[in-house]
């Protein structure tokens, strides 16, 4: 026990029985909604349950009914992307008859197979189904119904929610081109991720459509992680022939690029324009506020939760949902040749 901290013991069924003056078997009948309890006794036991704050153990409940009425949302780590998805899922849980459990085993996204370990701990005894956020391994042998959000390898046989990464990247690149930029740097996402591949493909296609060649020396890997993006961003911005604009594959890399620009004495957007991807809350709070491509993160989380409930209930529906992205114009990009304020 932690010194100085008194931990209240968990209320047990026997505590309810003793307080209500009935047997444990009677309390069990009340908790599990079984017949054979007089109304007066039922009301008394329910009053004690409410007063003492008794909750049946999920594990015990699962053993009795094989259902916990709890859905899990499993993430490698709680970072801005997964946190916004969780907000959407928590809004959608109302009225479903389920409760929501958010779980992270403290893994990093690069820890291949984290979702299998998480599910082996939770499925069958604690949760009836799970939403996996950016899982590294996609298969159908999970023991409980599963929905994947933005899986590393892209859609497969597993029910999946994602956004249109390719179209979003095309829109970001065309926006910079329309502002007169032609020397555009690109900070790619982590290798092996389908979202990263699609965003780079969209960047390259938009450049080709505009008749612009992609300078290979201006394409670097930021890996979606600020610590990994800082070095490549510094390399791009320290060049004597630096790009006039940088498209970072996610907002965290874009925000790291803004920080590097400030450290180098460069003004954003006067000296370099920067655009991101995701529209996490931090993007609106940066200096200057970040222009970005918005994934509907709340909606993705909500749609994943609804899809999981439908899968559990056996509802016939499309099991791959791709949501649109859109440009959010703020203050981190400027037109080439526009007067400087």
| For residue 192, pLDDT beyond 80 | yes
| For residue 51, pLDDT beyond 90 | no
Classify 187 as helix, strand or coil.
strand
Give ranges for CATH 1.10.260.40 in the chain.
13-56
| For residue 121, pLDDT beyond 90 | no
DSSP H helices in 107-179: 114-122, 165-178
Q: Identify the CATH assignment for 165-295 out of 1.10.10.10, 1.10.1740.10, 3.40.50.2300, 3.30.420.40.
A: 3.40.50.2300
Backbone φ and ψ of 272, nearest 5°: -155, 135
pLDDT for residue 49: 84
| For residue 5, pLDDT beyond 60 | no
Q: Identify the CATH assignment for 70-163+297-323 out of 3.30.70.20, 3.40.50.620, 3.40.50.300, 3.40.50.2300.
A: 3.40.50.2300
pLDDT digit string, tens, across residues 136-187: 876 656 678 999 999 988 877 789 999 999 999 999 999 999 999 999 999 9
pLDDT for residue 62: 45
Confidence of residue 1 (pLDDT cuts 50, 70, 90): very low
Distance CA 284, CA 247 (A): 17
pLDDT for residue 4: 47
pLDDT for residue 57: 54
Comparing 95-109, 274-288, 316-330, the range with the smallest average pLDDT is: 95-109
| For residue 318, pLDDT beyond 60 | yes
| For residue 16, pLDDT beyond 60 | yes
pLDDT digit string, tens, across residues 246-267: 999 999 999 999 999 999 999 9
Query: Concatenated DSSP letters for 44-96?
Result: HHHHHHHHHT----HHHHHHHHS---EEEEEESS--HHHHHHHHHHHHHTTTT
CA 223 distance to own-chain centroid: 16
Give ranges for CATH 3.40.50.2300 in the chain.
70-163+297-323, 165-295
Which tokens belong to 257?
A: 């690029």
| For residue 2, pLDDT beyond 50 | no
pLDDT for residue 252: 96
Confidence of residue 54 (pLDDT cuts 50, 70, 90): confident
Distance CA 235, CA 90 (A): 41
pLDDT digit string, tens, across residues 284-300: 999 999 999 999 999 99
Give the max Cα distance, the chain.
Answer: 86
Average pLDDT over residues 119-142: 79
Comparing 6-15, 34-43, 230-239, the range with the smallest average pLDDT is: 6-15
Classify 156 as helix, strand or coil.
coil
Name the range with the highest mean pLDDT among 52-61, 90-99, 103-112. Answer: 90-99
Average pLDDT over residues 123-144: 79
Residue 100 CA: distances (Å) to CA of 82, 127, 277, 315: 15, 9, 28, 20
Confidence of residue 63 (pLDDT cuts 50, 70, 90): very low
Domain 13-56: what homologous superfamily?
lambda repressor-like DNA-binding domains (1.10.260.40)
Average pLDDT over residues 109-125: 73
Rounded to a whole number of angstroms, the distance between the first and last alpha carbons of the chain is 62
7: DSSP letter: P
Q: For the chain, what is the mean pLDDT?
A: 89
CA 17 distance to own-chain centroid: 43
pLDDT for residue 169: 98
């Amino acid at each position: 026990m932690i010194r100085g901290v008194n931990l209240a013991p968990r209320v047990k069924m026997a505590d309810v029985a003793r307080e209500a003056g009935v047997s444990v078997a009677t309390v069990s009948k009340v908790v599990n909604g079984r017949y054979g309890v007089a109304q007066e006794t039922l009301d008394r036991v329910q009053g004690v349950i409410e007063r003492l704050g008794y909750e049946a153990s999920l594990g015990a409940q699962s053993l009795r009914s094989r259902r916990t009425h709890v859905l899990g949302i499993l993430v490698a780590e709680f970072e801005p992307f997964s946190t916004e998805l969780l907000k959407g899922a928590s809004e959608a849980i109302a009225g479903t008859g389920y409760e929501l459990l958010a779980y992270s085993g403290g893994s990093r996204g690069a820890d291949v197979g984290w979702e299998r370990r998480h599910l082996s701990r939770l499925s069958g005894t604690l949760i009836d189904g799970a939403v996996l956020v950016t899982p590294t391994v996609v298969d159908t042998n999970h023991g409980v119904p599963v929905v994947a959000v933005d899986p590393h390898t892209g859609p497969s046989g597993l029910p999946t929610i994602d956004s249109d990464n390719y179209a979003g990247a095309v829109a970001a690149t065309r926006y910079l081109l329309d502002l007169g930029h032609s020397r555009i740097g690109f900070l790619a996402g982590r290798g092996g991720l389908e979202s990263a591949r699609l965003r780079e493909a969209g960047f390259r296609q938009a450049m080709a459509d505009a008749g612009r060649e992609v300078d290979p020396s201006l394409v670097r890997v930021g890996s979606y992680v600020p610590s990994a993006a800082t070095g490549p961003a510094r390399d791009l911005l320290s060049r004597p022939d630096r790009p006039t604009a940088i498209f970072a594959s996610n907002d965290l890399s874009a925000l790291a690029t803004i920080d590097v620009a400030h450290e180098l004495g460069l003004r954003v957007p006067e000296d370099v324009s920067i655009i991101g991807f995701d529209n996490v809350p931090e993007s609106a709070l940066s200096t200057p506020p970040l222009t970005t491509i918005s994934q509907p993160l709340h909606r993705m989380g909500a749609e994943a939760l609804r899809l999981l409930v439908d899968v559990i209930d056996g509802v016939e529906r499309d099991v791959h949902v791709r949501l649109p992205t859109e440009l959010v114009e703020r203050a981190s990009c400027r037109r080439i040749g526009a007067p400087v304020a």
